[in-house]
Amino acid sequence: MTIRTMLFTPANHARHVEKALCGSVDAVILDLEDAVAIDLKPAARALLPDLLSGRRQKTPRVFVRVNALTTPFAFPDLVAAVRDGLSGIVLPKVESREQVATADWLIAQLEAEQGLAANSVELVPIIETAAGLTRLQEIGTASPRIRRLTFGAGDFTLDTNMEWSPGNEGVLWGRMQTVVGSRAAGLAPPLDTVYPTLPDGAGFEAECRQARRLGFEGKLCLHPDQVAIANQVFTPTGAEIAEAHRLLDAFELAVASGSASIQLDGRFIDYPIAERARRLIETRDSSSVEEAAL
């Protein structure tokens, strides 16, 4: 399933959660990690059963960001989160295949305990350290639960002593590596890091458009106002789809006549260009089917 937007919301802020679950975002991330103070984590965790109840087959899908496996909070987080209504676990600071294997095993036991289908709970690793970035392919192939990765610039810049600012070369490199590593692991395109400046709709839109050009499928969001912008940027427009159909029709006609490369309005078209047009059409078609089904 294509995900254009995932919105973080603190699990213990009822008003924020209610607003998020009624919005147009593709997925809500109930956050137990950075958005919740240490003393409040047990109370936030205790809210999950009620928040997840009845969410099966509803939109937006609901994920839970648990605390990192290196903390004492991860296990009780998983126990509270894995139940009917959960779409997936967002796992921060993933650095190795072994960490993925641990999370996978724990989730499998909890799925069985809750009567859920095996591998029904997706696992979404956040790549946000130097160690994680250098092990992208082993992380991405460590579990069938992993369908996509995400990149987290905040902790990545802290870990690497970089600055987190627009145009930062190191963050751009990390984002690009996440796209390449996802492809090498055979995963769906990843979701891009959050944009930390609020409010800055123009800056956020510009970064979304850059992320789409880089190969990301969508964007992690910090505020509901960012969702509409990201949804629009990561959804092919009618004009883009019409142009893709025109290009593909012209190319297929040429192939039928024995030519595998043509010029269309001065633009060179060959198999890779035609395949990109085909993917764009398929992305729009699959999104329409998913929306109709829901």
pLDDT in tens, 252-279: 988 998 988 888 988 899 989 999 898 8
Can you give the pLDDT at residue 112?
98
Token pair 């995963």 is found at 187
pLDDT of residue 166: 82
The answer on pLDDT for 75 being more than 50 is yes
Residues 67 and 184 both lie in one domain: yes
Cis ω on the peptide bond leading into residue 199 (within 30° of 0)? yes
| Domain co-membership, 186 together with 280 | no
Ligand-binding site membership of 155 (annotated): yes
> How many domains are contained in the chain?
2
User: Over the stretch 193-252, which tens digit does the pLDDT of each residue have?
Assistant: 999 999 999 999 999 999 999 999 999 999 999 999 999 999 998 898 999 899 899 999
- Tokens 């996440």 map to which residue? 178
pLDDT of residue 288: 55
Measured distance CA(17)–CA(14) in Å, rounded:
5
Annotated binding-site residue? 225: no
Q: Is 65 annotated as a binding residue?
A: yes
Average pLDDT estimate for 112-130: 98
H or E stretch at 5: strand 5-10
Residues 46 and 101 in one domain: yes
Looking at residue 293, what is its pLDDT? Answer: 47
Please give the sequence-ordered ranges of beta strands (E in DSSP) within 43-112, or none if there are none: 61-65, 88-91
CA distance 226 to 216: 16
Closest by CA to 101, choosing from 245, 109, 259, is 109
Contact 157, 180 (CB under 8 A): no
From 184, 218, 233, the end of a domain falls on: 233
CA neighbor of 217 nearest in space, from 88, 20, 26: 26
Using the predicted structure, report yes or no on whether residue 160 has a pLDDT greater than 70: yes
Q: CA-to-CA distance for 159 and 162, rounded, in angstroms?
A: 8
Helix (H, G, I), strand (E, B) or coil at 278: helix
Judge if 38 and 127 occupy the same domain: yes
Answer whether residue 285 shows pLDDT above 50.
yes
What DSSP state is assigned to residue 38?
A: G
Asked if residue 252 and residue 228 are part of one domain, the reply reads no
| 18 and 55 share one domain | yes
Identify whether residues 25 and 168 lie together within a single domain. yes
Q: pLDDT tens digit string along 59-73?
A: 999 999 999 999 999
Tokens of 14: 């009822």
At residue 280, the pLDDT reads 85
| Closest by Cα among 7, 20, 91, 73 to 51 | 20
Is the whole-model pTM more than 0.75?
A: yes
Alpha helices, DSSP H, located in 125-235: 130-134, 136-140, 153-160, 169-184, 201-214, 224-233
CA–CA gap between residue 45 and residue 267 (Å, rounded): 55
Domain co-membership, 137 together with 168: yes
Does residue 58 sit in the same domain as residue 101? yes
- The predicted pLDDT at position 225 comes to 97
Q: What is the DSSP letter of 117?
A: P
Mean pLDDT on 89-107: 98
Q: Which domain holds residue 228?
A: 5-233
